[in-house]
């Protein structure tokens, strides 16, 4: 059993987005990256389940750009005794537009039986 795969890895990140009062926030925190690609952060700012936040790595990683990545808050806990909320994140992926998924007549091939 590989002990390293069972322990979460932590990264210093900057999180930004809009809180429950529709105010823009920027907050530095730690991103815990566990097994099965589970990602979780702890925030002072109150966010709603389903909202979008942007996470940017603060520590330099070789050959890495430090641009923000969009995540959705899929689970938000009640405030803990330290005033923070635990937020489980899921990375958002771009969806193909209808135009990108349509096949033009010139691209279609006709198969005759």
- Tell me the average pLDDT of the chain: 83
DSSP per-residue string spanning the chain: --HHHHSPEEEEEEEEEE-TTS-EEEEEEEEEE-GGG-EEEEESS---TT-EEEEEE-S--TT-----EEEEEEEEPPP-TTS-EEEEEEE--PPPPHHHH---TTT------
Going by pLDDT thresholds of 50, 70 and 90, the confidence category of residue 112 is: very low
Going by pLDDT thresholds of 50, 70 and 90, the confidence category of residue 65 is: confident
Say if residue 111's pLDDT is above 60: no
pLDDT at 66: 81
Model pLDDT for residues 7-44, shown as the tens digit of each residue: 668 999 999 999 999 999 999 999 998 877 789 999 99
CATH numbers and ranges of domains, the chain: 3-101 (2.30.110)
């Amino acid at each position: 059993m590989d002990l390293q795969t069972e322990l979460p890895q932590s990264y210093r990140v900057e999180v930004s987005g809009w809180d429950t009062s529709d105010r823009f926030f920027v907050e530095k925190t730690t991103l815990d990256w566990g097994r099965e690609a589970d990602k979780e952060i702890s925030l002072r700012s109150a966010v709603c389940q389903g909202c979008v936040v942007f996470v940017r790595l603060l520590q330099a990683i070789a050959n890495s750009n430090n641009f923000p990545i969009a995540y959705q808050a899929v689970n938000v806990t009640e405030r803990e005794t330290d005033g923070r909320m635990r937020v489980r994140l899921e990375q958002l992926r771009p969806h193909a537009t209808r135009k990108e998924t349509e096949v033009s007549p010139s691209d279609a091939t006709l198969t005759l039986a």
